[in-house]
Amino acid sequence: MRVSDEGIGISGDELDQVFDKFYQSSGSRTQSGGTGLGLAICREIIDLHHGRIWAENNAGKGTSILFEVPRQLPLRD
């Protein structure tokens, strides 16, 4: 799944950090008014489903948040 926007984007060195609790991208700290929890919560949910989530910069402007989850959960031992 890919969710993209056409905003100011996230700097390359912050692409992994945006998934940390309470972290806000330097480009949005003064504009968004958020708490920096949304992507951290998403990461927790994706992790619980044995998936992965990551961010990519789009050519030109904006950012994409991508995630994938397996169709079947791994068998438990």
If you average pLDDT over residues 27-48, what whole number do you get?
81
Question: How much is the pTM?
Answer: 0.78
Q: How confident is the model at residue 28 (pLDDT cuts 50, 70, 90)?
A: low
Return the CATH number at 14.
Answer: 3.30.565.10
Residue 17 has pLDDT above 80, yes or no: yes
What pLDDT does 53 receive?
Answer: 97
Domain that holds residue 22: 2-61
Provide the H-helix boundaries in the chain. 38-48
Q: Is residue 25 a part of any domain in this protein?
A: yes
Residue 28 is encoded by which pair of tokens? 């949005």
What pLDDT does 7 receive?
Answer: 87
Residue 6 is encoded by which pair of tokens? 């056409």
Q: Which residue has the higher pLDDT, 73 or 2?
A: 2
> Whose structure tokens read 């992507």?
39
Contact 10, 25 (CB under 8 A): yes
Q: Is residue 66 a part of any domain in this protein?
A: no
